[in-house]
């Protein structure tokens, strides 16, 4: 996978995670909005799915993720560039 | 506690070296109405507000740190290939002498960050009104930076950040209403 594909897959994760951030902020002040709560439950599943897809190829995004076999095989280490400001 | 995520909140694309723009962006990095001030302000206020609005302060503070990282990425990339002469031309000569190519928490004029920019009054309504004002000032600052910048890629990220200030301001306004409702209920019973 090249840098463009990596960037695209990361963008999918960024988009999905952002939906979760936004719905979390919204439900903080609208705790009884059932539609928003339903959206939040769907959004967090979608974010987890896209995160797993990215991490399978490029290794964990956080230290709470279990490294995939592919990441282990390719010698993934947490302390490995690129960091976000280097991409 | 916090766990680091090896990604930015929103993409930052830097196509060319532009130390002058980096200097202007510093206003939102280490300035009075910037992201560091916002993050530290909300994170510190969250201990002494009613339970119903802790989440608002906690989660917005956390998001502000991700904004800070986006700005740092912009400043780093816009200056990393600049020569000392280019930095000097951009008004960053004094910065270079003190910090080299390192980033620093300072405003566009080079004034270092100070906690005198922020307050914690221990009065939830007073604190939330300060937070609303902070978001509006940050939104205005982003607008001024966008107005002075002709970098379309940077402006895309700055517009995202500007919109976030609007959303945060709205959430803080709603938090004020939540507290007022609670106060009025207590008066009735």
Least reliable range by pLDDT among A2-6, B21-25, B64-68: A2-6
Backbone phi and psi for residue B112, each to the nearest 5 degrees, phi listed first: -65, 155
Domain range for B132 is 19-188
Per-residue pLDDT, B184 = 86
Say if B73 is an interface residue toward chain A (CB within 8 Å). yes
Q: What does the alpha-carbon distance between residue B145 and residue B68 come to, in Å, rounded to a whole number?
A: 16
In a domain, B31, yes or no: yes
Residue A85 lies in a domain: no
Domain count, chain B: 1
If one counts the domains in chain A, the total is: 1
pLDDT at B187: 74
**Rounded percentage of chain B residues whose pLDDT exceeds 90:** 96
pLDDT tops 90 at residue A1: no
**Distance, CA of A45 to CA of B44 (rounded, Å):** 31
C-alpha distances in angstroms, B170 versus A31, B165, B181? 15, 9, 17
Q: Has residue B2 been placed in a domain?
A: no
Residue B51 maps to which CATH number? 1.20.1260.10
pLDDT of residue B47: 98
**Contact call for residues B1 and A7 (beta carbons, < 8 A):** no
pLDDT confidence of residue B189: 59
> Is B6's CB within 8 Å of A11's CB?
no
* B7: in domain: no
Tell me the pLDDT tens digit for each residue of B97-125: 999 999 999 999 999 999 999 999 999 99
Q: Is residue B12 part of a domain?
A: no
pLDDT in tens, B31-68: 999 999 999 999 999 999 999 999 999 999 999 999 99
B5 contacts on A by Cβ (under 8 Å): 61-62
Look at residue B122 and tell me if it is in a domain: yes
Does residue B96 sit within a domain? yes
Q: With 90 as the cut, is the pLDDT of residue B188 above it? A: no
Q: Does B43 touch chain A (CB under 8 A)?
A: no
The most distant pair of C-alpha atoms in chain A lies apart, rounded to whole Å, by 47
* CA distance to partner chain A, nearest, from residue B5 (Å): 5
- Domain-embedded: residue B5: no
Q: Judge: B56–A29 Cβ closer than 8 Å, yes or no.
A: yes
């Amino acid at each position: 996978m090249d840098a463009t594909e990596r960037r695209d897959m990361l963008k999918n994760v960024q988009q999905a995670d952002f939906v979760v951030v936004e719905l979390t902020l919204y439900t903080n002040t609208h705790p009884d909005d059932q539609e928003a709560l339903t959206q939040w439950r769907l959004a967090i599943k979608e974010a987890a799915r896209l995160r797993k897809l990215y991490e399978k190829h490029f290794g964990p995004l956080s230290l709470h993720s279990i490294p995939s076999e592919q990441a282990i095989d390719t010698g993934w280490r947490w302390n490995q560039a690129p960091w976000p400001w280097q991409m | 506690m916090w766990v680091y995520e090896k990604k930015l909140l929103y993409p930052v694309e830097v196509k060319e070296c532009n130390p002058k723009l980096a200097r202007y962006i510093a206003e939102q990095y280490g300035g009075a109405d910037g992201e560091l001030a916002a993050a530290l302000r909300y994170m510190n206020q969250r201990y002494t507000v009613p339970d119903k609005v802790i989440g608002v302060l906690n989660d917005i503070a956390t998001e502000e740190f991700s904004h800070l990282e986006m700005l740092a990425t912009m400043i780093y990339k816009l200056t990393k290939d600049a020569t000392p002469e280019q930095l000097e031309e951009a008004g960053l000569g004094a910065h270079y002498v003190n910090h080299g190519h390192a980033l620093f928490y300072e405003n566009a004029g080079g004034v270092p960050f100070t906690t005198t920019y922020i307050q914690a009054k221990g009065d939830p309504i007073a604190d939330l009104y300060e937070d609303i004002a902070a978001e509006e000032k940050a939104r205005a600052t982003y607008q001024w930076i966008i107005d002075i910048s002709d970098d379309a890629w940077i402006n895309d990220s700055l517009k995202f950040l500007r919109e976030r200030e609007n959303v945060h301001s709205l959430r803080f306004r709603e938090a004020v209403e939540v507290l007022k409702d609670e106060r009025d209920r207590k008066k009735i019973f």
